[in-house]
Amino acid sequence: MNKNIGSDFDDFLAEQGLVEEVSAAALKRVISWQIAEAMKLQRVSKKTLAERMHTSRTAVDRALDQNDSGMTLATLASAARALGQRVEVRLVPEHKEHHA
């Protein structure tokens, strides 16, 4: 009867419909961070990235702001393309514990 706290919390989030929302936000933050790292490695400024994306510096600022909930995967994918990268989101099977 002793379920671990983690699975209780996951169950709570699932009941509240928050699991996907939290996962999506985390995914966008990771991609945003990777774009910023790629910019550093390639020595690409925000101004240059904006030009490559045919967008404004402000749009690039928003894409790189990890706390901006308005940033979309499409914008991040566009930024990645401008850096010669691509965003890959895959489905992977869940590994649930089976209780005997």
The length of the chain in residues reads: 100
Q: pLDDT for 22-59, tens place per residue?
A: 777 888 888 889 999 999 999 999 999 999 999 999 98
Identify the domain containing residue 23 by its residue range.
Answer: 5-82
CATH of the domain at 78: 1.10.260
What DSSP string describes 3-63? --HHHHHHHHHHHHT-HHHHHHHHHHHHHHHHHHHHHHHHT--HHHHHHHHTS-HHHHHHH
Residue 23 confidence (pLDDT): 77
Q: Please check whether residue 22 lies inside any domain of the structure.
A: yes
Q: Please check whether residue 73 lies inside any domain of the structure.
A: yes
Q: Please check whether residue 87 lies inside any domain of the structure.
A: no
How many domains does the chain divide into?
Answer: 1
Residue 46 confidence (pLDDT): 94
> Residue 46 in contact with residue 57, Cβ under 8 Å?
yes
Residue 52 confidence (pLDDT): 95
Q: Which tokens sit at 5?
A: 């706290």
Give 98 or 8, the one with higher predicted confidence. 8
Q: Please check whether residue 43 lies inside any domain of the structure.
A: yes
| Ramachandran quadrant class, 88 (left: phi over 0; alpha: psi -120 to 50; beta: rest) | beta
Q: Please check whether residue 91 lies inside any domain of the structure.
A: no
Residue 53 confidence (pLDDT): 93
pTM above 0.75, yes or no: no
